[in-house]
Amino acid sequence: MKNGSTTKTTASKSAKGEAEEAGARVSADAQGSNGAGDTAEARSFIFLPPPRAEALSVPDPLNERGELVCTDETTLAPAQMRELYRWLQLTRLVEEKLVNLYRQTKVVGGVFRSLGQEATAVGTCYALRPADFITPLIRDLGAVLVKGIRPREIFAQYMAKAWGPSEGRDLNIHFGDIERGFVGPISHLGDMIPVMTGIVLAARMRKKETVAVAYIGDGGMSTGAFHEGLNFAAVQRLPLVVVAEHNWYAYSTPTRKQCAVTNLADKAAAYGIPGYVVDGNDVVACYEVMKKAAEFARAGGGAVLIEAKTYRRKGHAEHDDQRYLPEGELEAWEKRDPLDRYQRHLISNGVATQDALDEITADVRREVEEDAAWAESSPMPEAEKAAYNVFDNSNVPPAFRPKVFGRGE
């Protein structure tokens, strides 16, 4: 520190110096140095370096043959572990069936896959209590199914059928069921964070120990609603757990064009809440991290941010040819497939035999076919039903198409 007369010069000089220093520190950090001992000289302000530049990741758990499996650190009973496999398989097969139906033009809208990231939705949701609430994103079909929504409801929604929960009014998982703790998302990313904050605010007023889980992605976290909602939940110390699925692409936009942090969990610091980073392709780890986070939130600790590092192996929707992917990336992540990996894990740990897993898969296949057939057998909605339910129709009449020169009819 220089004497008082030179402080101003030092300070103004160090603005540029800090920027350079920050850049230097970032690269130093990337090389494993802690960058300490190289601070600004002024005493009249404090310089906070940007968060560590390296991406946080946990070491890969390997089996005896050196193959990638899941973490051994678990409280799950063997029966639960086999059930988890069932949910993963159900998620994948429902989506594969949807692609089939889409190619037969039976799905009216788009199909959005969660291929490669099923473990995040399934594992985290499996750790919740029945009375807890979730709001998924389109790539969290697994969480929706674990919450008790049946595949037939999903098929009917995608095919715009009258028997779907929204009776043809909205797409895919855009519906809700308060009884089952499921609040469907809307297309506007981030909007559900404030809504889920309201869910747990109401639960607290009613003296219930409800935890709400909101799924969001690396893209959705850039919205204003995300910030407002999480900030409010943090201020109110509400039991909201946000699962940030870092799948590296928002449509075609990579994370580096979405935000300047390396770990999405780094953002937790801005809200004064704890953050976790988990391997999103390890279903057991996803379960365990949510168990811990939900416990913390439920006990009055407030909001939590979990970043699950995973990868979106399909395009934004079925039409997307993924021309923006760097060469080799897809192949690298195929090797980390959460379902293959979990299957190996179960077998090498003696939790299930291949035969037992095949039996589960066959059973899931049956359910998928049955439910898809049920949904296909549903009629399309009657056209005039479009007029109903804008408001409570016991209060306000339906919005029928008026006749020309109808004279008030």
Partner 1 sequence: MSAAAKKEHKSNRPERGGVVTFVEAIRQGLWEEMERDPSVFLIGEDVGVYGGAFKVTDGLLDEFGDGRVIDTPISEAAIVGAACGAALMGMRPVAEFQFIDFITPAFDMLTNYAAKCRYRWGAGVAAVFRGPCGAGVHAGPFHSLNAEAFFMNTAGLKMVEPSTAYDAKGLIKAAIRDPDPVLFFEHKKLYRLPRLREEIPEDDYTVEIGKARTRREGRDLSVITFGAQVLTALDAAEELEKEGLSVEVIDLRTLAPMDREAILATARRTSKVLILHEASRTGGIGGEIAATIAEEAFEWLDAPVVRVAATDTPVPYSPPLEEYHLPQARDVLDAARKLAAY
Residues at the contact surface with partner 1, assessed by CB under 8 A: 165-166, 169-170, 174-176, 178, 183-184, 186-188, 191-206, 224-225, 228-229, 231-232, 235-236, 389-392, 395-396, 399, 405-408
Residues whose CB falls within 8 Å of the CB of residue 370, separated by 6 or more in sequence, listed in order = 152
**Could you tell me if 274 and 266 are in contact, meaning their C-beta atoms sit under 8 angstroms apart?**
no
Residue 401 Cβ, how far from partner 1 at the closest point, in Å?
Answer: 13
- Within 10 angstroms of residue 381's Cβ, the number of other Cβ atoms is 17
Task: State which residue, 40 or 138, has the beta carbon closest to partner 1.
Answer: 138
Q: How far apart are CA 237 and CA 273, in angstroms?
A: 9
Helix (H, G, I), strand (E, B) or coil at 250: strand
Residue 142 Cβ, how far from partner 1 at the closest point, in Å?
Answer: 20
Task: State which residue, 35 or 164, has the beta carbon closest to partner 1.
Answer: 164
Task: State which residue, 173 or 285, has the beta carbon closest to partner 1.
Answer: 173
Helix runs in 378-397, H state only = none
Residue 166, token pair as written in the block: 């929204």
Residue 306: phi and psi, rounded to 5, are -110, 125
> Sign (positive/negative) of CA torsion 151, 337, 62, 359?
positive
Residue 245 Cβ, how far from partner 1 at the closest point, in Å?
Answer: 20
Residue 230 Cβ, how far from partner 1 at the closest point, in Å?
Answer: 9
Task: State which residue, 2 or 129, has the beta carbon closest to partner 1.
Answer: 129
- Within 10 angstroms of residue 52's Cβ, the number of other Cβ atoms is 17
Q: How far apart are CA 319 and CA 324, in angstroms?
A: 14
Q: β-strands 304-309, 275-279: how paired?
A: parallel
Residue 8, token pair as written in the block: 């101003």
Task: State which residue, 4 or 224, has the beta carbon closest to partner 1.
Answer: 224
Residue 408, token pair as written in the block: 């008030």
Task: State which residue, 223 or 253, has the beta carbon closest to partner 1.
Answer: 223
Task: State which residue, 157 or 263, has the beta carbon closest to partner 1.
Answer: 157
Residue 170 Cβ, how far from partner 1 at the closest point, in Å?
Answer: 4
Residue 190 Cβ, how far from partner 1 at the closest point, in Å?
Answer: 8
Residue 218 Cβ, how far from partner 1 at the closest point, in Å?
Answer: 20
